[in-house]
């Protein structure tokens, strides 16, 4: 089968023919129809992602497709089922074997492209806002990088949870995307008076931050007492340092969010969140935003879109 494969640590991935072993007793074999790209794929290529597998390996963390066969110990899933899977790796290929516990059945009307685009981005935002921050209706949510792959989902989920959403993104086009997703207020993230604009809107109860850098520092200084800050990632390349005396004075909480880590120590939290999200998608309350759909032989172009921050929402590769 064809797969977008990293042959050696730090080397550029290649589209190549690889063999696929039989699925294990607890696994499903999937005919992959769609795989969403993530910033973590870029880090895996460099070998700097915390969960980079040993080379050689196939990129692709989240997939959707049709089950071809199941291992002897798998229950509740059968060939022909349409599922989304948080794979961790192996998604940028024509087929793959994945642990059955990572698969979630899809409603009939949800497309493979939408299904591949939902687990990590929507799952991260829902787990962060609901399970970690315990955000309540009526609170103010500040979303940095609000037009990106995860930021846009935080805007949508924040509105569903009853928050007033302040969206920060770069430029009028990206801010318009955040507005369409439900944001109540818009601020250009590169504005020199970012902190002052947040304060003028009443400050923030919850800060959702996949960006880091100067934007985090501005948001940190514009929080309400007892605010919760959620570091999701550091797309700016600058990991902020938090002064603990400021945390003490304002009674602030910084709550780290590593969505994939829950699969290792509390998988029921993650799968429960995904079931909630699928219910919302089935009801039409959420619509995964996919800005680019490309075939497998153009996966490299898709990764460049992420690297250059040219995508809004998700980039999906189809096979």
Q: Tell me the pLDDT tens digit for each residue of 186-232.
A: 999 999 999 999 999 999 999 999 999 999 999 999 999 999 999 99
pTM of the predicted structure, to 2 decimals: 0.83
- Cβ proximity of 228 and 207 under 8 Å: yes
Residues 6+ apart with CB under 8 A from 259: 120, 123, 124, 127, 128, 270
Asked whether the predicted pLDDT for residue 276 surpasses 80, the reply is yes
Greatest CA separation for the chain = 60
- Supply 16's token pair: 């190549």
In this prediction, residue 270 has a pLDDT band, given cuts at 50, 70 and 90, of confident
- In 286-311, which positions are buried (b, 16+ CB within 10 angstroms) versus exposed (e)? bebbbbbbbebeebeebbebbeeeeb
- Cβ proximity of 217 and 194 under 8 Å: no
pLDDT digit string, tens, across residues 2-11: 999 999 888 8
Lowest mean pLDDT among 64-73, 157-166, 253-262, 278-287: 278-287
**Helix H or strand E segment including 269:** helix 267-282
**How many Å apart are CA 133 and CA 206, to the nearest integer?**
7
pLDDT digit string, tens, across residues 24-45: 999 999 999 999 999 889 999 9
**How many Å apart are CA 98 and CA 26, to the nearest integer?**
8
The arithmetic mean of pLDDT across residues 79-88, rounded, is 94
In this prediction, residue 50 has a pLDDT band, given cuts at 50, 70 and 90, of confident
The arithmetic mean of pLDDT across residues 261-282, rounded, is 87
What confidence score (pLDDT) does residue 236 get? 87
- Cβ proximity of 103 and 76 under 8 Å: no
**How many Å apart are CA 117 and CA 316, to the nearest integer?**
7
Q: What is the 3-state secondary structure (H, E, C) of 127-154?
A: HHHHHHCCCCCCCEEEEECCCCCCHHHH
- Cβ proximity of 48 and 59 under 8 Å: no
**How many Å apart are CA 49 and CA 275, to the nearest integer?**
27
Domains of the chain: 2-118+288-318 (3.90.180.10), 123-258 (3.90.180.10)
């Amino acid at each position: 089968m064809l797969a977008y494969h990293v042959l050696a640590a730090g080397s550029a991935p290649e589209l190549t023919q690889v063999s696929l072993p039989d699925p294990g007793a607890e696994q499903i074999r999937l005919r992959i129809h769609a795989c969403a790209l993530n910033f973590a794929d870029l880090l895996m290529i460099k070998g700097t992602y915390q969960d980079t597998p040993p080379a050689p390996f196939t990129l692709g963390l989240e997939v959707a497709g049709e089950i071809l066969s199941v291992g002897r110990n798998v229950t509740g899933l059968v060939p022909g089922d349409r599922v989304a899977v948080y794979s961790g790796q192996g998604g940028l290929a024509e087929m793959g074997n994945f642990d059955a516990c990572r698969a979630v059945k899809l409603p009939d009307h949800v497309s493979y492209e939408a299904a591949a685009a939902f687990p990590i981005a929507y799952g991260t935002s829902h787990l962060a806002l609901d399970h970690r921050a315990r955000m309540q209706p009526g609170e103010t949510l500040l979303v940095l990088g609000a037009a990106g792959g995860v930021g846009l989902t935080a805007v949508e989920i924040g509105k569903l949870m009853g928050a007033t959403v302040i969206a920060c993104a770069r430029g009028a086009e990206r801010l318009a995307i955040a507005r369409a997703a439900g944001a109540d207020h818009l601020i250009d993230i590169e504005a020199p008076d970012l902190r002052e604009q947040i304060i003028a809107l009443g400050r923030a109860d919850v800060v959702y931050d996949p960006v880091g850098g100067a934007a985090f520092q501005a948001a940190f200084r514009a929080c309400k007492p007892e605010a919760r800050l959620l570091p999701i990632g550091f797309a700016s390349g600058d990991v902020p340092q938090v002064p603990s005396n400021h945390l003490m004075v304002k009674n602030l909480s910084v709550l780290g969010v590593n969505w994939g880590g829950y699969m290792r120590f509390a998988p029921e939290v993650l799968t429960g969140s995904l079931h909630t999200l699928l219910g919302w998608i089935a009801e039409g309350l959420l619509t995964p935003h996919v800005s680019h759909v490309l075939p497998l032989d153009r996966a490299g172009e898709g990764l460049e879109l992420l690297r250059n921050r040219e995508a809004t929402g998700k980039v999906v590769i189809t096979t």
